[in-house]
Each structure stands twice: as C-alpha cells, then as structure tokens.
Amino acid sequence: MRLFRCFSGCNRAVARVMRIVGSTFSLRLSGPANALIPLALAAGIVCHAAVPPAGAESSLPTLTLEDAIATAVKFNPYVQASRHEVTAADAQVTQARSGLLPQLEVSETYNRTTSPLWAFGTRLNQGAITARDFDPDRLNDPDPIDNFRTALTLSWNIFDGGQTWIGWRQARENLEAGNLALQRTEQEIIAQTAITYVGCLLAAEERGVVDQALETAGAHLKVVEDRERSGLAVKSDVLRARVRIGELSQQRLQADSQVNVALAQLGAVMGTPDAVPPGTRLAGAFSQCTAPQGELDAWIETALNRRSDLKQLDLQETVARRQLDRARAAHLPTLALQGNYEINSEDFSDSHDSYAVGAVLQMNLFSGQRISARAAEAKAMAARVRAMRDAQALNVRVDTQRAYYQAQSAWQSIEVARTAVDQAEEGLRITANRYRNGLLALVSLLDAQVALQQAQTRHFKALHDYKVARIALALASGTLDKDFK
C-alpha cells in the first residue's frame, strides 16, 4: 500500500489551485490580469505553511493496517480475557480426565485420646495390646494415649455408568467452544480496529480537504485584493474573503483535534495507547476501493457455514445433550476399588503397619425423583440451546443481509459523490471566471468554495462508509481474519 499523506506537495497544490482558479483568468500581464502572479505566490505560501519541515515527516511513526490488527489481536484486553477463558477450559479437561485414573493420597494424622473405645482401638492399631489392657479398670478408664498415623490410600472408580467419561467429553467440547469464542472475539476486535483505522484515514482526508480549501481561499483573496486596488471591488469583499479564511483556519484546528482523537481511539482498540502517539502517519490508499463481489445468497450460505458463534452454539447443544445422558447414567450401578496401607505409632520408636483392600458396589434404588428431575432439567436445557441456536441463525441472516445491502448502497454512493466533486470543481471554475469578469458578486464565489469543500467531504465520507460496510460484511459472514485489507 502506498504511504498515506495528510498534506499535498507544493507543486501539486499550485497545480490544483491554478487548475481551479488560475485557468479562469487570462494570461495577459497588463492591468488587473496581473492577479495571476500573486495567485501562484499565494498558493505557494499556503502550501509552505501546510507541509511539515523537511525531515520532520520521516521522523513520524508510520502504522499500517496489518500492524494495527496484529497488535490489537495480541494486546486487546477482550482478546486476552478470551484467551484466559480458553486456558481455564483446557484445565477443566485435565480435571475431568483425572476422574478416569486411580487416585493416590498420603496423609499424616495425630490423635491423643482418653476415650475407652478409641484408646483400645489405638493400642490395637499400634500392635501394643497386652494382657493388662483387658483389665476392666484400664478398659473403662484408660490413660491418655498418643498416636501418629501415616496412611497411603488408593481409590479407583472402575465404573460409574459412564458419568465420568461423559464429563470428560463435555470438557473437551467446552474447550473447542472456547476456542470458537476466542476466534469470534478476535474477529470483532479486528473489525473494530479496521473501522477505527479507516476513521483515522477519514479524519486525515477531511483535514486535507480543509487544507485545499484554505489554498483556494487564499488564492481568491489575492484576486479580490487586486480587484479592490483596481477599483473593481469594494473593501467589504476583501473583508468577507478574509473572514472565509478565518473560518477555514478554525476548521483546520478542529480537524487536527479530530485526527488526534481518532488516533487515540485506535490506540485504545489496539490495547497499546502509547504505540499511536499524535502525529502518527497511517499507510493506506484511502481512495482505492473494489466493488463488492458475490450474490447475497452466497454470502448468507458462507455466514451460516463459517460463523464461529453458530458453531459454538452447536457444540453447546451437544454438551447439553450429553448432560442428559450423564443424568440418566446415575440410575446405573457404580463400582470402585479401594485400598489402604497405614502405619500407627505412639512416639515413632515402635510402629505397626496394616492394610485393607476392597471393592464397593453401589446402586441407587430410590432418590426421591432427584435423578429423573436432573434428566428433565438437562433435556430442557438442550432444547433451550437449540432454540438459541435457531435464533442466532436468524440474526446471522439479518446481519449479513444488512451488511450486504449497505455495502451495495455505499458503493453506488461513491460514484454519486465523485460526480458531485467534479461538478463542484467545474462550478467553482465557472463562478471564479464570472467573478473575475465582474458578472457575479463575491458571495457566489464563496458559495462555490463551500460547495466544493462539502462535495469533497461527502466523497471521502462515502469512501469511509463503503469501507466500513465491507468490514461489517466480512464480520457478518465470518470471513474476517488478520489478513483483511
């Protein structure tokens, strides 16, 4: 892409002013026709004031749309938040998978008791029972006893009706849905970045329109002053021309402010405000546009097939259906293996170890309809997600249609606006020529200047609207990516 410049070079500025204004005057060098010389000088003075000093332009940072999008995808807080959600979903997959594996735990427990039951049991676990311990007095009123218990416990859920397996698959599908959500978030941020970038280009182009209007108004002021010195114009015409330049100077200040605000908004979208300081140059051919391609039906079909938010709802529906299977699996029996190895000691000087292994088979006979209610809830949630998916599909159709029609309308508006600019330029040329010959009042010339400025502004606005509509169409169809131009 060619480098976008807010200011035109002096040679082009002089040529433009000469074309619009200077061509309306005779090349005679006698009498009032000498206005052509100060006309060119005025154009050079205005251009010199508008163009930055030599070397200053090269020192300004340059930002391309590709760099802006890449930075936004990396640093935008919303994208980062979505990435954290994906990381959390990945951790949930690991958690769900752990239910399929055996669980091994180690523990260290300390007890001190005078309870007859626990004191006798503790001595049994320590392997320290003697005949004296069966004395009724010692049984009923034992001395305090300490115990350190070191235990290694193994448990393995062999079968639970498939509940753990289903949960693992749900977690993996949730992770995939999270990646789709991340993809959609990135697309939205890319669209927001591109739209803001185009807005910056528009602000710069509008500032350029004001610069051109200042050049033209300055040239016309020279003509009016020459006519006033020749007695062909009154002093009020000169004052009115100077008022016009003052108005344009105020517009120039406002245009500078709008450019800086637009750059600040771009930095905020990119997530790095310091990367887009005031004065940043944007590289882009703002006036280059291509006509929208494809029929509406093809765009809608693409959107229904590629929109990641629709795919995400499809996965959420699958997760909801699996939740129904998981709820029904609670009616099935469960089988778990258990093992325990422990060491008991009063003071670590002597110890006694033991182990226990076993299996637990469990089946629910009656839950007060708790399991059936969970199944009914899961079924209703699956139906809800399906309804939401259908509603989103309708919204995708409408979004795509809206963006398509707006793109078509904006493209046609570009040609209308461009024709209006050509007509305004020709109107200004004719009006300036007639004013030079004393056939029109100054107000007509000023009106023609305003008409040209407004036509140029509407032309750039039409270009901006079309680019925004193209971005919206790409976003609505799900085809927007980091390589968007």
Q: Please report the sign of the dihedral spanned by the C-alpha atoms of residue 286, residue 288, residue 291, residue 296.
A: negative
Instruction: Please report whether residue 155 resides in a domain.
Output: yes
CA distances (Å), origin 144, targets 114, 115, 129, 254: 5, 8, 15, 89
Instruction: Please report whether residue 33 resides in a domain.
Output: no
Instruction: Please report whether residue 85 resides in a domain.
Output: no
pLDDT at 49: 33
Q: How far, in whole angstroms, is CA 305 from its chain's centroid?
A: 22
Number of domains in the chain: 1
CA distance 475 to 185: 11
Segment (H or E) for 433: helix 370-436
Instruction: Please report whether residue 10 resides in a domain.
Output: no
pLDDT at 440: 85
Q: Which residue has the tokens 């023609």?
A: 448
With a cut of 50, list the residues of the chain below it in pLDDT: 1-57
pLDDT at 59: 62
Is beta strand 334-345 parallel, antiparallel or unpaired with respect to 351-362? antiparallel
pLDDT at 14: 35
Q: How far, in whole angstroms, is CA 85 from its chain's centroid?
A: 16
Residue 3 pairs with which residues in a beta bridge? 283
Supply the CATH number for residue 126's domain. 2.20.200.10
Residue pair 286/201 in contact (Cβ under 8 Å)? The answer is yes
Q: Which residue has the tokens 């959420």?
A: 316
Which amino acid, residue 431? T
CA distance 293 to 107: 69
CA distance 273 to 196: 13
Instruction: Please report whether residue 140 resides in a domain.
Output: yes
pLDDT at 373: 94
Per-residue tokens: 395:
């919204």
Instruction: Please report whether residue 117 resides in a domain.
Output: yes
pLDDT at 132: 86
Segment (H or E) for 103: strand 103-113
**Phi and psi torsions of 227, nearest 5°:** -65, -35
Residue 353 pairs with which residues in a beta bridge? 343
Measured distance between the N- and C-terminal CA atoms of the chain, rounded to whole angstroms: 10
Helix/strand number for the chain, H first, E second: 13, 6
Residue pair 467/198 in contact (Cβ under 8 Å)? The answer is yes
Instruction: Please report whether residue 349 resides in a domain.
Output: yes
Residue 150 belongs to domain spanning: 97-165+332-369
Per-residue tokens: 416:
């209308």
Q: Which of 9, 175, 213 is nearest to 83 (CA)?
A: 175
pLDDT at 481: 87
pLDDT at 54: 40
Could you report the per-residue pLDDT of 164-187, keeping only the tens digit for each? Answer: 999 999 999 999 999 999 999 999
Could you report the per-residue pLDDT of 331-385, keeping only the tens digit for each? Answer: 999 999 999 999 999 888 888 899 999 999 999 898 889 999 999 999 999 999 9
Instruction: Please report whether residue 244 resides in a domain.
Output: no
